[in-house]
Structure 1
Amino acid sequence: MKRQILMGLLLPALVGTAAMAETAPAEVAYEEGAVAQSLTGTPGNPDEGANVMSNRGLGNCVACHAVSAMPDVAFQGNVGPSLDGAGDRWEEAQLRGIVSDAKMTFDGTIMPSFYKVGPYIRQGDAFTGKAFEGELPPLLTAQQIEDVVAYLMTLKE
């Protein structure tokens, strides 16, 4: 009985601690474009990061970037720079900032902001009358950002 009571008290506290570890998109602290602190407090999984980067329903980074380490992924892009050697060119904090919101590092870039909820310029109402109402969710979750960063850190020269 004592064990059940103790677990009943500890479990919500532990779950609350895990939930607090994730940084909300609007709370991300950029320093010269870099994000020093993990968005989740959990290390990224490079295998999951590769999936996010190559999956058209997720990040689809390869639509614009070439990655030699992904030879089985067809139709890699050439709009953005090659990501070969990304782990040598940038530090982890810089990569986290670029993947979260590249506009904080590269003024005028066309790279999407993957972990941002606004503000956005919404011109859809003027053209279609069907612009999304309310707050848009980020394109990727905080853990997916960490996974992509972990994968990019494996891309060495």
Structure 2
Amino acid sequence: MNWRTTITALVFVPCLVAGAAAAEVAPNDVAFGDDGVSVSLTGVQGDVEAGAAAFKDRGLGNCLACHANKDMSKDLFHGNVGPSLDGVAERYDEAMLREIVINAKQVFTSETVMPGFYSLDVGKDVVKAREGQTILSAQQVEDVVAYLGTLK
């Protein structure tokens, strides 16, 4: 092996590994199990601050529209359609939180009003510009799950 082969291997192999770790699970490829979705959608740890931002962003999660949350007590428009999310990390582990955020209908019933945030099965009358899109990206799901994990 010469020096060029060695340098190429040192540069190329880590790129392959990094690319494999960053592979994203597509919405239709999510593996739902009895214990939730245990595999990260991105292979990247969720960011708590980004998750909190998506949680309260009306154009993304908009979770406050339905769920009260003491952590965000200064934010407006806490809803009461869904349960309070205070202590949610004690009620559900990470895999179940991920499954609920991806598609709550997999955990509860098809009658739940909570949308599937990483699902293409969104029902009828979808705004044309949003057809074939998820509400949250795979990383945003991981971020929201990381944030929910702080609510003990």
Amino acid at match of 1:83: L
> Are 1:33 and 1:102, in contact at CA under 8 Å, matched by a contact in 2?
no
> Are 1:96 and 1:145, in contact at CA under 8 Å, matched by a contact in 2?
yes
Correspondence for 1:144: 140
> Are 1:115 and 1:139, in contact at CA under 8 Å, matched by a contact in 2?
yes
> How big is the alpha-carbon RMSD for the aligned residues of Structure 1 and Structure 2?
2.3
Amino acid at match of 1:132: K
Amino acid at match of 2:113: I
Deviation string 1:65-103 (CA, Å, 9 cap, x unpaired) is 000111221011001110000000111111000000000
Correspondence for 2:117: 114
Structure 1: 4+ residue segments shifted above 6 A:
none
Task: Mark the runs of 5 or more structure 2 residues left unpaired by the alignment.
Answer: none
> Are 1:34 and 1:96, in contact at CA under 8 Å, matched by a contact in 2?
yes
Task: Mark the runs of 5 or more structure 1 residues left unpaired by the alignment.
Answer: 125-130
CA positional deviation for 1:149? 0.7
Correspondence for 2:100: 98
Structure 1 length-normalised TM: 0.82
Number of residue pairs matched? 148
Task: Give secondary structure in 2 for the equivalent of 1:69.
Answer: helix
1:61-76 mapped onto 2 (5 Å cutoff)? 61-76=63-78
Structure 2 length-normalised TM: 0.85
> Are 2:22 and 2:44, in contact at CA under 8 Å, matched by a contact in 1?
no
Deviation string 1:91-117 (CA, Å, 9 cap, x unpaired) is 111100000000001111010100012
CA positional deviation for 1:18? 3.6
Correspondence for 1:13: 16
